[in-house]
Structure 1
Amino acid sequence: MTALHPRTALVIIDAQLAIDDPKWGPRNNPDAEQKIAALLAAWRDAAMPVFHVRHDSVEPGSPYTPGTKGHPFKTEAAPLDGEPVIGKSANSAFVGTPLEAMLRQAGATIIVVCGVLTHNSVEATVRHGGNLGFRILLAADACWSVDVTDLTGRRWPAEDVHQLSLAVMNGEYAEVTDTRALIAAARA
């Protein structure tokens, strides 16, 4: 990967305490929070735009409900003063939010996406952003999935769910890469 444009935006999806709720079950990529923190540090060092997406659930009993213990950002992904926080209540960070307008105002045509869950809000945001004409770079090791049970009752392990979601997005909606390559490109 070559050097990234200085207006390449980092978009961190739903990296909130709620994702640690046991209701989600087993996950993959146990080091993803550290990878998110490394991306965030690299973007801040390069003075590149950072956007924090926060899920503000409207579903009763959701661990993502505003005002609950799960709603705050994880320490590794906490915004600094002045970094935009975009609240959303749908899976895509573009639905009902000012994210697209904010990215365009920042001059961002390339977006690096990370966060949770790969097969849910990350994938919805990546697909939506790709359809809006943004070039999406997805940090595969800075996002994760959880086990999913399909309609036949088969339980799919989180790593399989993650890898399938990445494969579906790669090429058509995003370029799947990793934090090492993205940090090197941000520093170039």
Structure 2
Amino acid sequence: MGMDNTTQLTQNTALIVIDVQKGWTDPVFPPRNNAAAEENIAALIDAWQTAGRPVVFVRHDSPKPDSPLRPGQEGNDLQDFVEQRRGKGGGPELLLTKTVNSAFIGTPDLRSWLDAAGIRQIVVAGIMTNWCVDTTARMGGNLGYEVIVPIDATHTFDAAGPDGRVLSADELARATAVNLHAGGFAKVVATADLLD
């Protein structure tokens, strides 16, 4: 995809890792896209921690009784490759929990944490591309942050619309990238662009 030269990461650019939890592997979910998502997320966490930049780990505590992501279930846990990286970085770290799509509506309050640290630029990665990643990116843009979304460090699932027509995970990811870009919510890049 190739970033243009106007995006420079700052020393305190925060990486927000959204909902990379075990429950997403449950067979209840339809087919997904982007088999490389986890590898790209891991690479971003490693790069951020090595650079001493801030990392926010977000966990979705689903209030729905039938959700694989509800608290008290193994599906609520962060996936091993993420859990194993917690606490390994030289920079500030936050674990945030939420019950809605946006990481800006969670505990502790993300906006307060970012603002207290003087952070104005955020990179949003994780699961799912068109739900929690998209919602967090849009809200971040609306709140005045410079938002970057490495779209290949996210994944989603096939989903049906109100007419019953199914869009594939790839189609939904493409639409999300277009919406974020065209709407000016975020700069959409490839993971490799952020690792240079």
Query: TM-score category by the smaller chain?
Result: over 0.9
Query: Which residue number corresponds to residue 118 of structure 2?
Result: 107
Per-residue CA deviations over 1:37-56 (Å, capped at 9, x if unaligned) read: 00000000100000001001
Specify the SS of the correspondent of 1:80.
Answer: coil
The 4+ residue runs of structure 1 with deviation greater than 6 A are none
> Unpaired runs of 5+ in structure 2?
none
Number of equivalences? 184
Compute the displacement of 1:3 (Å): 3.7
Task: Point out the more displaced range, 81-90 or 136-145.
Answer: 81-90
Mapped to 2, the partners of 1:3 and 1:123 lie a distance apart of 22
Mapped to 1, the partners of 2:19 and 2:166 lie a distance apart of 24
Compute the displacement of 1:61 (Å): 1.5
> Unpaired runs of 5+ in structure 1?
none
Instruction: Give 1:93's match in structure 2, choosing from 97, 100, 103.
Output: 103
Compute the displacement of 1:174 (Å): 0.2
**Higher relative contact order, chain-length normalized (CA < 8 Å, sep 6+):** 1
Asked whether the equivalents of residues 96 and 106 of structure 2 are also in contact (C-alpha less than 8 Å), the reply is no
1:30-69 equivalences under 5 Å are 30-69=35-74
Matched, 1:80 2:90: no
Mapped to 1, the partners of 2:190 and 2:116 lie a distance apart of 27
Query: Which residue number corresponds to residue 25 of structure 2?
Result: 20
Percent of matched pairs sharing the same residue: 39
> Aligned partner of 2:147: which letter?
I
TM-score (structure 2 length as normaliser): 0.90
Asked whether the equivalents of residues 33 and 77 of structure 1 are also in contact (C-alpha less than 8 Å), the reply is no
Compute the displacement of 1:76 (Å): 2.3
